[in-house]
Structure 1
Amino acid sequence: MLGMILLVVLILLLIGAFPAWPYSRGWGYAPTGTLGLIVVIVVILVVLGRI
């Protein structure tokens, strides 16, 4: 249950990290890439049953 909530929150953060505003376009893919990596790690942990 906790893993599913964490996964949903991380996916929402990933969607929110896309550079959609002019001031955030200079950030590049760092926010999205970092959150994407965290989502992948959480998915692997959920599949393995660690969370």
Structure 2
Amino acid sequence: MSVGTILLIILILLLIGAIPTRARFGNAPMGIIGTILVIVLILMLLGQI
């Protein structure tokens, strides 16, 4: 596996773990990790990772 694939798997696991279970967190954890995931996906598609 390449580094990009491993990074993608880790980010997906973090995204699943960031699903808010309490109302006080709101959507912030999922939004931040989701944004990072989109950036990594774009970089992987462009061949930068």
TM-score, normalised to structure 2's length?
0.93
Q: Percent identity?
A: 56
Q: Alignment RMSD, CA only? A: 0.7
User: 1:15 aligns to what?
Assistant: 16
Q: Does structure 1 residue 30 correspond to structure 2 residue 28? A: yes
Unaligned runs of 5+ in 2: none
User: 2:37 aligns to what?
Assistant: 39
The amino acid of 1:17's aligned partner reads A
Q: Which runs of 4+ in 1 moved over 6 A?
A: none
In the TM superposition, what is the alpha-carbon distance from 1:27 to its structure 2 partner?
1.1
Unaligned runs of 5+ in 1: none
- Size of the alignment, in residue pairs? 48
In the TM superposition, what is the alpha-carbon distance from 1:8 to its structure 2 partner?
0.3
Q: Does structure 1 residue 2 correspond to structure 2 residue 3? A: yes
